[in-house]
Amino acid sequence: MGDSRSSSEDPTAEGEWVLYKDRPEWADVTPLPQDDGPSPVVQIAYTERFKDVYDYFRAVLKSGEKSTRVLQLTEDALELNPANYTVWHYRRVVLKAIGSDIKEELQYCREIIEEHPKNYQVWQHRRALIEWLNEPGTELRFTEVILAIDQKNYHAWQHRQWVLQAFSLYEGELDFIDRLLLDDIRNNSAWNQRFYVISHSGGWTAEVVEREVKYSLEKIQIVKRNESAWNYMRGVLEHCDDAAAADKQRSVVKERCQELLAAGCESPYLLGFLVELLQYQLDEEAVSEKQELVTTATGLCTRLSKDIDTVRCRYWDFISNTITRKYSVPA
């Protein structure tokens, strides 16, 4: 965080800190010490400043005081422990009671997030502020900035998804995801976001599924060992709301997988996907040449187990045995 908003010149310099018990403007408040019970076993070694701030915070929490000075006290408390849910909750109570500028509070919240980007409580606080304003403001841009620092920040993604859903801002989100995947095609969070957006906007119609299968195959062509793209395509096919369209796209995918395999691609995700497609085909009652499919599927499992995905050899052996037991045609 930049310049400190603390009520002392420098909250990190213990010698310059003015304890609340020594501040004339707080002389009317009796601090409330933490109650650790009659026989505490392993007491936390709080600093004097920490005990002082939280003793006064407990006091105002008990009395119910809501004022500008209490708001400042919560800032000092959050400087010391930015994950204290009770402090954040009471800060919101005070903000409402004294009619504080919510947009100014958003800036304060941003400063805390930039310093503690994976703090649950501060993201919850920000969400509450946006709910009060009932407008998205620049939240999408803000989360974009945070994700540029850490593309896997779960809190930023969760906040972004909430903003999209709460204010129906799905339009343009796929373009944002495209930019992320151009930068890093293996960005699993971006693939997950793409699935989220489509699931909550247009849904998995035949047209959408055809488009997304094509999109996935294009990305797989670029990086064939990209597990994220294979997983995404699996989800697309599983969630298609048109069975006939899903079967058609499975045929398209199977044909492309066979082409990649024939070209010498040995991605474990390719072979594993083919095994799944063959299992799906075997589940169809009217399928012909069932034994040939069984032989092909178990052969792929053997390659995975012995050569390509040896770390999961027992898994592939299990899948092979399951296919043989379930689908083999008696001689």
CA 287, chain centre distance (Å): 41
User: Which one of 118, 224, 254, 290 is the catalytic residue?
Assistant: 118
Burial 152-174 (b: 16+ CB within 10 A, else e): ebebbbebbbbbbeeeeeeeebe
51 three-state secondary structure: helix
Token pair of 23 as six digits: 């501040």
Give the span between the Cα atoms of 245 and 235, in whole angstroms.
Answer: 14
Rounded to whole angstroms, the Cα distance separating 169 from 36 reads 48
For residues 27 and 201, give the distance between their C-alpha atoms in angstroms, rounded to a whole number.
57
Q: What is the dihedral of CA 48, 52, 55, 60, to 10 degrees?
A: -170
DSSP classification of residue 263: T
Reported residue count of the chain is 331
Q: Give the Cα separation of 184 and 179 in Å (integer).
A: 9
Residue 299 φ/ψ, nearest 5 degrees: -65, -40
Query: Is 118 one of the catalytic residues?
Result: yes
Helix (H, G, I), strand (E, B) or coil at 119: coil
Please list, in sequence order, all residues whose beta carbon lies within 8 angstroms of the beta carbon of residue 248, skipping any fewer than 6 positions away. Answer: none
Amino acid at 110: R
CA–CA gap between residue 308 and residue 317 (Å, rounded):
13
Q: In terms of Cα–Cα distance, which of 176, 270, 254, 261 is closest to 220? A: 270
Positive or negative, the Cα torsion across 261, 267, 271, 277? negative
User: Which sequence positions are flagged as catalytic?
Assistant: 118
